[in-house]
Amino acid sequence: MRDRAEQQSLWPDPSFDGRKTRQFRQNIAYGFSLQYSRWACSPAHYRQRYEVLARQGFRCAECGEPLDSKRFDTHHWNSDYSNLGYEEASDLGAVHRAPCHRRLHERKQGC
Please report the DSSP string for 31-82 in residue order. Answer: T--HHHHHHHTSHHHHHHHHHHHHHTTSB-TTT--B--SSS-EEEESSTT-T
pLDDT tens digits, 65-89 = 999 877 888 898 886 777 777 788 7
Domain count across the chain: 1
* pLDDT over 60 at 61, yes or no: yes
The mean pLDDT of the chain is 78
pLDDT tens digits, 35-54 = 778 888 888 888 888 899 99
The domain in which residue 33 lies consists of 4-109
Among positive and negative, which fits the CA dihedral 68, 78, 13, 27? positive
Give SS3 for 102: helix
Cis bond leading into 99, ω under 30°? yes
Global confidence as pTM: 0.68
Q: What percent of the chain has pLDDT over 90?
A: 23
